[in-house]
């Protein structure tokens, strides 16, 4: 079975490609570097020709509100009709838990991406994931003011990229669910506590301050803004295990 992974060179994309190739599938890791660009449309028709499944794991190079919205809207408008014309039988996309419950520019872009998928008529499964553990440093950096990192005490349940990729591969090989499925990490704790544990473990001297008013990429974080409200598939790798593996790899 031919499977195309758009963004197949990214953090989740490269891991998903490896899992699917190990399973013996013909996998195309598509990205601008390999001549497939969902923004210009270059190479899209050729890449999806003969594909049974397309997994969209691309991300916007810029996180600026307008750029993110434009990225996901343009990509959807180029990719989804090409898939429909090629007779693709399952479109899988990776989205984010809580994008309809917290208002920030990046989340608005992801909601627009989901809307285009649902309206496309393609058989689909949207996977909404919580934040990746690999994203903790970027979160700390974006919330830092000098040596102080202000983080909300709202609940947080980050997931390791390895667990995300395993779930994406499994979902892609199953029949389309025509709905949203949610995935999250095995541990749930206040956002500020997880970031503080992470910074301490990596010997980062910055101090984490619990701040209910602290924004996450511009959006307010209430107690349950960022965690699944209903049933979710849970990853196996918690923060301590992820740190142990990261240190072993370094
Ligand atoms: N970060 C989080 O905590 C989180 C949580 C839930 C969901 N997500 C979602 O997970 C997805 C994957 O994130 P990630 O961190 O794995 O992304 P990433 O590492 O930044 O990789 C992005 C991928 O997109 C490709 N790409 C960029 N522009 C493209 C274009 N015009 N056409 C085709 N491909 C393009 C890149 O190709 P090049 O390598 O050639 O640049 C790269 O392969 C994103 O959609 C994100 O919204 C993220």
Strand partners, 219: 216
Whole-number pLDDT of residue 248: 82
Residue 37: CB within 6 Å of ligand 1? yes
Distance 64 CA to ligand 1 centre (A): 15
Distance separating alpha carbons of residues 187 and 193, to the nearest angstrom = 12
Whole-number pLDDT of residue 3: 98
Residue 71: CB within 6 Å of ligand 1? no
CA 96 to ligand 1: nearest atom: 6
Distance 237 CA to ligand 1 centre (A): 21
Residue 5: CA count within 13 A, CB half-sphere = 27
Residue 39: CB within 6 Å of ligand 1? yes
Whole-number pLDDT of residue 102: 84
Whole-number pLDDT of residue 189: 98
Q: Please choose from 11, 31, 102, 160 the residue to mutate so as to test ligand 1's pocket, defined by most ligand atoms within 8 A of CB.
A: 31
- Write out the chain's pLDDT in tens, 250 residues: 999 999 999 999 999 999 999 999 999 999 999 999 999 999 999 999 999 999 999 999 999 999 999 999 999 999 999 999 999 999 999 999 999 988 899 999 999 999 999 999 999 999 999 999 999 999 999 999 999 999 999 999 999 999 999 999 999 999 999 999 999 999 999 999 999 999 999 999 999 999 999 999 889 999 999 999 999 999 999 999 999 999 888 7
Place of tokens 């989901």: 114
Distance 223 CA to ligand 1 centre (A): 27
Place of tokens 């196996």: 236
pTM over 0.95: yes
Whole-number pLDDT of residue 159: 98
Distance separating alpha carbons of residues 70 and 75, to the nearest angstrom = 8
Burial of 248 (0-12, 13-18, 19+ CB in 10 A): exposed
Burial of 72 (0-12, 13-18, 19+ CB in 10 A): buried
Distance separating alpha carbons of residues 210 and 225, to the nearest angstrom = 16
Closest CA to 117 of 166, 87, 81, 160: 81
- Determine the 3-state secondary structure of 170 from DSSP: helix
Q: Number of H helices and number of E strands within the chain?
A: 8, 14
Q: Is the Cβ–Cβ distance between 26 and 1 less than 8 Å?
A: yes
Whole-number pLDDT of residue 130: 98
Distance separating alpha carbons of residues 68 and 70, to the nearest angstrom = 5
């Amino acid at each position: 079975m031919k499977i195309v992974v758009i963004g197949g060179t990214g953090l989740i994309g490269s891991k998903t490609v490896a899992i699917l190739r190990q399973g013996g599938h013909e996998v195309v890791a598509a990205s601008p570097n390999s001549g497939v660009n969902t923004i210009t449309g270059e190479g899209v028709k050729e890449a999806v020709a003969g594909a049974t499944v397309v997994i969209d794991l691309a991300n916007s190079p810029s996180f600026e509100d307008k750029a993110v919205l434009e990225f996901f809207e343009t990509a959807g408008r180029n990719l989804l009709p090409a898939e429909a014309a090629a007779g693709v039988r399952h479109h899988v996309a990776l989205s984010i838990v809580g994008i309809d419950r917290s208002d920030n520019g990046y989340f608005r872009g992801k909601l627009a991406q989901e809307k285009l998928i649902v309206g496309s008529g393609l058989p689909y499964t949207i996977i909404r994931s919580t934040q990746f553990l690999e994203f903790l440093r970027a979160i700390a950096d974006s919330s830092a003011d000098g040596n102080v990192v202000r983080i909300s005490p709202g609940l947080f349940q980050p997931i390791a990229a390895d667990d995300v990729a395993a779930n994406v591969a499994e979902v892609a090989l199953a029949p389309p669910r025509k709905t949203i499925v949610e995935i999250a990490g095995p541990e749930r704790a206040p956002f500020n506590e997880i970031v503080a544990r992470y910074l301490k473990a990596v010997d980062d001297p910055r101090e984490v301050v619990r701040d209910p008013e602290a924004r996450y990429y511009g959006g307010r974080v209430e107690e349950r803004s960022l965690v699944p409200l209903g049933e979710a598939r849970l990853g196996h790798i918690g923060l301590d295990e992820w740190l142990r593996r990261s240190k072993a790899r370094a």
